[in-house]
Structure 1
Amino acid sequence: MGLKPKTWSKKTRRSVGVGAVVAAALAIAAASTPAFAGTHGNQTKAVKTATPIKHLVVIFQENVSFDHYFGTYPKAANTDGTTFKAKSGTPAVNGLTNKLLNNNPNEYNPSRLSPDEALTCDQNHSYGPEQQAYDGGKADQFVQFTETDKCTGMPIIFGEPGLVMDYYDGNTVTGLWNYAQNYAMSDNSFDAGFGPSSPGALNLISGQTHGVQAVDSVTGKPVSNSLSTSPDKKGIGTVIGDPDPAFDDCSDTNHTSTNPLAKMTGQNVGDLLNNEGVTWGWFQGGFAPTGKANGYAVCGATHTNVGGNAVVDYSAHHNPFEYYKSTSNPKHLPPSSVKNIGKTDQANHQYDMTDFDAAVAANNVPAVSFLKAPEYQDGHAGYSDPLDEQQFLVKTINELQKSKDWSSTAVVIAYDDSDGWYDHVAPPIHNGSSDPANDQAMCAPTKKTKPLNGYEDRCGDGPRQPLLVISPYSKTNYVDHSETTQPSILRFIEDNWKTGRIGDGSLDASAGKLTNMFNFNQKPVTKPLILDPKTGAVKK
């Protein structure tokens, strides 16, 4: 498919007005209690699960708001791309109404992006500007604060004034829309806070962005640096940006620079799973080193995206476990064997995506798996796109649905941040912050929104994002309206494998539950839904 070069299209400019709806609801659901055998190190012990889910696979993608992918769901234009026609009775979502499409309070109306416009500019998704875009809940300042309509660095990039407002439909993100048709999705799931990738990834595995300390990239000793915000006397504060992790040879562009690195204190879900003897792993494209230089492993693998642009596969700041010494694999050592994937060995639960493929083929998928696509397939605007992303999602889920463990598996598709893309639902603020250097008035703490443990710069919820659950136990063609965040996934893991909570002000305890997207009383629907990776259309 040919992609359009950078062009400027005509859009309707709007005068700034008022309009945004705050949607919030909580769900409570029950679950059953079968048993699951987990392993820790070289020992095996019985591990009971609270639900029939024995294998959870979290596919953690990049930089998409809900409206950007699902704003007009389930109605597609069907003027180009892959045809999509919704099933009868498909529920509506809190999406882009005719008023929002034609009389939006922002300076531009949202415009549909075609499959030929898959490669676009990356938007501004920093902690402060995202708050400013929501303008105290009116959601009318996206063009002023998060828009990037011109960009360089890639030969084929689409841009236009008002780009930040734009959206795809089922003719481009066809695979995701077909998964929503046949399984469960949410239209009320939010980033746990404002800001970019690293905070979102940390919230996924620990519900915590406080506890970061800047360290020297060579010695690992603490240094004075603005890497963390609101630091205490020891320099430990909150991370709101994208620093590289302290325990990763491939940080600082394979250690060719000497920027301070980020060390996280406290614990994460990997520590909790290890304590309970549950197998787990983080699998990321490009994690396998391509060589060594100056004593460091080098992550040099690349792929070309749909526009023919070469992209480095591995991004260190996308791997949250490498911020914690206890769960890191600094030298990117491989697992000692396929049989030991998920157990504690030299890989320390950190793997290349090829190791996940090997584990699936060997029927050795860990109890909990986190998947991070190579960058060209992770959906991040600027170097990835929905078409390349679709190929990764569909290929991976097709493999899992054909595996012997599918009857007890759940796949969660979630995102680390919104990229600054427009979403009309102003996020509810549950955890306030009053840092004058970074926080807007909407984050000002109240009696109900005092910062947990007094940690500043964790204002949230942040922007709304897609969330899908694909499983034999998923509700079918179902839209969940209960409020969830990235730590809801963490909470599901904690509850299912009975690990206990993270503590220290983690957002896990207060996160909404995922269980409303399941029906654990139903007979599991194990018949695979096989999609075409290129088109996203249903094959069988």
Structure 2
Amino acid sequence: MKFRNPALTAACSILALIAIVQFSLFGPAVGNIHADDENSPRTATPIKHVIIIVGENRSFDHIFATYKPKPGESVSNLLSKGIINEDGTPGPNYSLAQQYSANVTGSPVFQLSPTTGKTLYPVLPAPLNGGPTNVCTDNGMCNLGDATSSEDGLSRQPVDYYESLLAGGTGLSGKVPDTRIQGVHGSAPYSTLPPGPFQLTNSGSFPYLSYANSPVHRFYQMWQQEDCNAAYATAANPSGCKADLFTWTEVTVGSNVNGNTQPANFSTDYVPGKVTTGEGATAMGFYNVLEGDAPYTKELADNYAMSDNYHQPAMGGTGLDSIILGFGDAIWFSDENSHALVPPHDQMTRFGGPVDEIENPNPVAGTNNWWTQDGYGGFGNNGASVGVFGGGSYSNCSDPSQPGVGPVVSYLSSLNPPISPNCDPGHYYLLNNYNPGYFGDGSDAYTDTNPNNTPFTIPGTTQRSIADVLLENNISWNSYNDQWDLYLGDKYQLNYGKVGPQSDQYCNICNPFQYQKQIMTNDAIRTAHITNTDQLYKDIENGKLPAVSFVKPSGWVDGHPASSKWDLFEGFVIKIVQEVQSKPGLWNSTAIFITEDEGGGYYDSGYVQPLDFFGDGTRIPLIVVSPYTKPGHISHAYADHVSLLKFIERNWHLGTISGRSRDNLPNPTTAPGNPYVPTNRPAITDLFDLFQF
């Protein structure tokens, strides 16, 4: 989930049905060196340009559950493990992914790995509907003029992806059982799904190009969903994370408690007239590439290279995972001048209150896992920030007595080898989605008192990011953000979700550099390096592409469930790939990395390596498109977002970001027969093994 201005929290959802045509992906043959590359800094490889495209909220198994590798390659997914069959039905080893409920009623503290009352679900709770009933009625996308005037980042070849913005509503209203899924019913029993992963597209009423609901993906929730316990550790899975509580956490606490009392009519299963978290077992859904789902993604994996051991760098959602992509580290609450402070805690703000921004996942007395303080922040109306409350998103993880911290730190210390939390004393680290400390024009968003602003904003930080390293070494870079130019004139994003030329679907929490004081308050640096995606297309066309490019689609096309679709992200990616491949010299010197910010809360069966207090989290897709890849190669080396930073640093002969950032971690070494688990933990790769130079 992405937190934005409270006046605009209703993210637009878009669905469609279009025919995907197969097409060639190889691009032009390797040609002459790009003209500007002759004077570029020396690199360790032929790669002079790195483009990092970041979509939204899909785990590896969610997309690649049934992917079959080329001969000589192997993959770790639901199909290869026998968890499912090629047709998406339960396989002989389905029990490896089965989900359990638990009972923590009476526990005064957060349960990282609950064992009391742990019981196999007989059937999954019904996954619930989410998204527009009708795209025209609910999203305002009624014709091609609406689509093309609202978004300029989609390809129109080999098919017109703008058509996909116009159709595909769920046909369902409200948080009711998603009867488009085979095994989900409109009357009791509402679910006959087995207690594990299920194919979303297993019926004619749920084609791939349809909208799907979005599961919870917050920090402590994901820690609990992974069910990590040193007592469960094995040689193949030394972290002891069983990933068997995805459903239970989803239906007991969800994502937006905000200090509210649990409703008297709360239910973990759908019952008419009862209140639920609005999700059901949404997290267990997956697509089937063997049956035509995600066709462009599969073609890229077949013809270039990908990783099946690439992870979101933190537990939870977009904000922290995007921050770590830029900083190689988490950031903390400060006075904007490097002095750590305590966030608002049970106190009034200029927007009202009381606000409690300190996370507290301890269960409320008498409830089964309903947390004390957890949420994106609540508001008393549907307009400006008036009557605010809740909002727990910070933890002082240096203090085990703090809510939620002790169980995680205790678990890390019990591992072999023990893992340091890497939390500085007295620092409250941001764990979930808060707005960055600066607006796009460089003005201070934390101190801004406009009623359209929000207190759920972290002050700007002076912590170092990869931008500092690149600037210090005169390596060119840009952050290209879809609809950035529209956001500059709409700092409170009052046009978020609107259709037409003023549509502002820019994602502020997705841009790590917008959190950083030395970037945002320096007019020359900010305006030179943070720009719109239409500038990316111009720079490709005119031979001006920088060495390092971070690229973020808008909310229309980022692939985020509940506001976008995976095929729309495919349409965004193909446009960039096609334009780079149309320039032979540029193509010859470019690597395009395609990934997600995080897994969106979807289940994944892969090994998770604890690196510190913050993560890692579930596996997510990573594909690299380059003439220097072996078609169909699959890397098993352990990686996360900071691996991209390590690639940049190694390729351009750069130092690390700071003394504590994750780019200091070594490349993994592994034992025979287990390429997924580093023996020198904690360790992450620099991704060089994805290439053949």
TM-score scaled by length of structure 2: 0.55
Higher CA-based Rg: 2
Aligned to 1:141: 245
Secondary structure of the residue aligned to 1:505 is coil
Asked if residue 206 in structure 1 is aligned to residue 379 in structure 2, the reply is no
Contact 1:224 1:235 in 2 (8 A): no
Aligned to 1:124: 216
Aligned to 1:282: 479
- In the alignment, the residues of structure 1 paired with residue 47 and residue 213 of structure 2 have an alpha-carbon distance, to the nearest angstrom, of 39
Contact 1:215 1:260 in 2 (8 A): no
Residues 252-286 of structure 1 deviation map (CA, whole Å, 9 limit, x = unaligned): 99971231422223211111111111110111111
- Selected match of 1:415 from 583, 586, 596: 596
Contact 2:311 2:617 in 1 (8 A): yes
- In the alignment, the residues of structure 2 paired with residue 508 and residue 242 of structure 1 have an alpha-carbon distance, to the nearest angstrom, of 23
- Selected match of 1:368 from 524, 548, 552: 548
Residues 444-484 of structure 1 deviation map (CA, whole Å, 9 limit, x = unaligned): xxxxxxxxxxxxxx2x2211111111101112211111111
Asked if residue 229 in structure 1 is aligned to residue 410 in structure 2, the reply is no
Residues 93-147 of structure 1 deviation map (CA, whole Å, 9 limit, x = unaligned): 1111374232341242322223356311111011111111111212111111136
Distance 1:326 1:215, change over 3 A: closer
Contact 1:54 1:367 in 2 (8 A): yes
Residues 389-443 of structure 1 deviation map (CA, whole Å, 9 limit, x = unaligned): 1110111111111123110000001221111101012412232x3xxxxxxxxxx
Secondary structure of the residue aligned to 1:351 is strand
Matches within 5 A, 1:172-321: 172-213=293-334, 224-225=343-344, 226=358, 227-230=393-396, 236-249=427-440, 256-262=452-458, 263-289=460-486, 292=489, 300=495, 312-321=504-513
Contact 1:248 1:329 in 2 (8 A): no
Matching residue's letter, 1:382: A
Contact 1:291 1:297 in 2 (8 A): no
Secondary structure of the residue aligned to 1:181 is helix
Superposition deviation, residue 224 in structure 1:
3.5
Q: Give the number of equivalent residue pairs.
A: 420
Distance 1:90 1:166, change over 3 A: farther
Matching residue's letter, 2:505: D
Deviates more, 1:231-240 or 1:182-191: 231-240
Contact 1:195 1:241 in 2 (8 A): yes
Superposition deviation, residue 163 in structure 1:
2.5
Deviates more, 1:160-169 or 1:281-290: 160-169
Aligned to 1:64: 58
- Selected match of 1:169 from 271, 280, 288: 288
Contact 2:16 2:210 in 1 (8 A): yes
Contact 2:213 2:562 in 1 (8 A): yes
Query: Which consecutive residues of structure 1, in runs of 5 or more, have no partner in the other structure?
Result: 5-33, 39-43, 75-85, 152-158, 334-343, 434-457, 521-540
- In the alignment, the residues of structure 2 paired with residue 202 and residue 320 of structure 1 have an alpha-carbon distance, to the nearest angstrom, of 5
Asked if residue 325 in structure 1 is aligned to residue 517 in structure 2, the reply is yes
Distance 1:236 1:2, change over 3 A: closer
TM-score scaled by length of structure 1: 0.70
Residues 232-253 of structure 1 deviation map (CA, whole Å, 9 limit, x = unaligned): 8997431111111112258699
Secondary structure of the residue aligned to 1:326 is helix
CA RMSD of aligned residues (A): 3.5
Secondary structure of the residue aligned to 1:468 is strand
- Selected match of 1:502 from 651, 657, 664: 657
Distance 1:99 1:478, change over 3 A: closer
Asked if residue 389 in structure 1 is aligned to residue 596 in structure 2, the reply is no
Superposition deviation, residue 503 in structure 1:
1.6
- The alignment-based identity, stated in percent, is 26
Distance 1:396 1:230, change over 3 A: same
Query: Which consecutive residues of structure 2, in runs of 5 or more, have no partner in the other structure?
Result: 1-13, 18-32, 85-89, 100-120, 122-194, 202-206, 229-240, 255-267, 271-277, 345-357, 359-392, 399-423, 666-683
Distance 1:215 1:186, change over 3 A: same
Distance 1:423 1:291, change over 3 A: closer
Asked if residue 461 in structure 1 is aligned to residue 582 in structure 2, the reply is no
Contact 1:172 1:386 in 2 (8 A): no
Superposition deviation, residue 2 in structure 1:
7.3
- Selected match of 1:111 from 198, 202, 210: 198
Deviates more, 1:224-233 or 1:510-519: 224-233
Contact 1:286 1:300 in 2 (8 A): no
Distance 1:176 1:241, change over 3 A: same
- In the alignment, the residues of structure 2 paired with residue 175 and residue 255 of structure 1 have an alpha-carbon distance, to the nearest angstrom, of 44
Contact 2:219 2:431 in 1 (8 A): yes
Distance 1:505 1:347, change over 3 A: same
Distance 1:237 1:249, change over 3 A: same
Matching residue's letter, 1:132: Q
Secondary structure of the residue aligned to 1:47 is coil
Residues 300-335 of structure 1 deviation map (CA, whole Å, 9 limit, x = unaligned): 47577xxx9x984112111110100122279xx8xx
Aligned to 1:338: none
Contact 1:301 1:313 in 2 (8 A): yes
Higher strand share: 1
